[in-house]
Structure 1
């Protein structure tokens, strides 16, 4: 069984779940998940977590992401992308200079409505279910969305291609819709390719054919690689035994006092890798504001050592 992150270049037309199912079958491994869902319309970098790495999914998916977005001006759709029905059409007489100006202005933090066709829950139910029933939601919830490094790549009226990065929770469909509104002609997303997630790039990924043929090692990152940026501490055999029994050793807590103070100051949780005297990973801890140190996972064996 493998434990780590597999970078897949997802083709357009497949759901992220379809990719997970295919990876399960090819690797003959049940413990498989993904981070950062890609809609069927989108292609590009999808992180697939394997084995023990599935326990890290919630921390891995907070990384910011970079996309190449194809947008059509002049048409607004129900879903804000090409999967929806066109609800309004307008002639597009917009210069490249005006598009460039608007693209540069949509760079920063915005409080924008969440797309109606999304998994966000309102009244205990996902919005897309209300949308499919034709149920109106007069005030869609607003969400802070952060976009940066936004640049215009191509413009051939009415088609626009933009490269942009966003923090977790940003909807590229919404960005495209807002650009159309600002230009006064409407717009929707026609294509999307994810190029980067955190420090991982699409150039490092393999496609599903590579996976089928066993040529995926360059796209696989072992468990320890995923937490390499976490604070690392070493413990002796006695402390290791205490953690196996669910206890954070007192001496270890004392050694992590500077990190606990920083977490309280910043309000941001911090992960800690615990290794034995030989440098093998034995546990993962999380320091949370106001909650102290919690054990996330204790390993009987080094996860990288028994990936095969």
Structure 2
């Protein structure tokens, strides 16, 4: 038998306003410790120097992580014009410079090529795997890393502020897998002046907003206390982008056992992914077929935890 994981069976989402200088994994470990939770995970890595929304799932809510990871996210970021770095952010070494500086109008005109379905090459210092190795590890070892371009949906990219000739602040709304550092790098290239990210903040991720996030200091202050539990949001919030159907009492029993169960649905198409609830609590996620939900993920009833 495997070792039983220690900690509380507690489920839900905690929105953290991640500080600069802390890894996403460190934030998750801090939250797990503060709640004394058995299980925790996050929905979408932030670079150590980035700040803003890091949504941390506890317990059964970890089963909804993919739906937040796939949701739209928004970032504000400041691009340092005139310099390229090997990491595409301010932490790296400057590898190219230019005295050229674009006008506001030139910047706004260039943003259009980064909206819609685009192809993006991740930064060489990123967690993308190459033959089983992380790209950043290979880059740190001095290897010439070649990364393939990958698709990205960018819903919106706006110029927010021009602080001075050397800096421009942008706001981007995009789908899964976007690298803001790549946008800064490629925008600088398109403008003929180079560029890298100086500051980056994720302002919202799916249903979670930075204004609602707890600081690490607050989490430390309330750690292991009942007050902290009041900041936990229901796991159902992680399913906000999926349509909801209502399970019948009999259907609920079948779904909780991993079998197809009868649901009441309106405007749901055959083969569509959705989630079933019973008396306000998530029962399962699955595919709707002819009046039944065929479950792919089943949630343990809260009182059974």
TM-score (norm 2): 0.85
**Where does residue 286 of structure 1 map in the other structure?**
286
**Residues 97, 239 of structure 1: CA spacing in aligned structure 2 closer, same or farther, 3 A cutoff?**
closer
> Which of 102-111 and 196-205 deviates more?
102-111
Distance 2:32 2:60 in 1: 15
Question: Given that residues 80 and 115 in structure 1 are in contact (C-alpha distance below 8 angstroms), is that contact kept between their aligned partners in structure 2?
Answer: yes
* 1:65 positional shift: 0.7
Question: Given that residues 3 and 222 in structure 1 are in contact (C-alpha distance below 8 angstroms), is that contact kept between their aligned partners in structure 2?
Answer: yes
* 1:302 positional shift: 5.4
Aligned pair count reads 288
Structure 2 unaligned regions, length at least 5: 1-8
* 1:282 positional shift: 6.1
Question: Given that residues 204 and 219 in structure 1 are in contact (C-alpha distance below 8 angstroms), is that contact kept between their aligned partners in structure 2?
Answer: no
SS at the partner of 1:129?
A: helix
**Residues 233, 141 of structure 1: CA spacing in aligned structure 2 closer, same or farther, 3 A cutoff?**
same
Alignment root-mean-square deviation, CA: 2.6
* 1:160 positional shift: 1.2
- Asked whether 1:248 is paired with 2:260, we answer yes
1:261 pairs with one of 270, 289, 292: 270
- Asked whether 1:16 is paired with 2:24, we answer yes
Q: Cα deviation per residue 1:212-257 (whole Å; 9 max; x = unaligned)?
A: 3336567531123333553222222x444434443224xx28x679
**Residues 83, 288 of structure 1: CA spacing in aligned structure 2 closer, same or farther, 3 A cutoff?**
farther
2:117 pairs with one of 109, 112, 115: 109
Question: Given that residues 71 and 206 in structure 2 are in contact (C-alpha distance below 8 angstroms), is that contact kept between their aligned partners in structure 1?
Answer: yes
Distance 1:197 1:243 in 2: 29
TM-score (norm 1): 0.84
Q: Cα deviation per residue 1:35-93 (whole Å; 9 max; x = unaligned)?
A: 11111010011101111111221222111111110110111111111121111111133
Question: Given that residues 67 and 239 in structure 2 are in contact (C-alpha distance below 8 angstroms), is that contact kept between their aligned partners in structure 1?
Answer: no
SS at the partner of 1:20?
A: helix
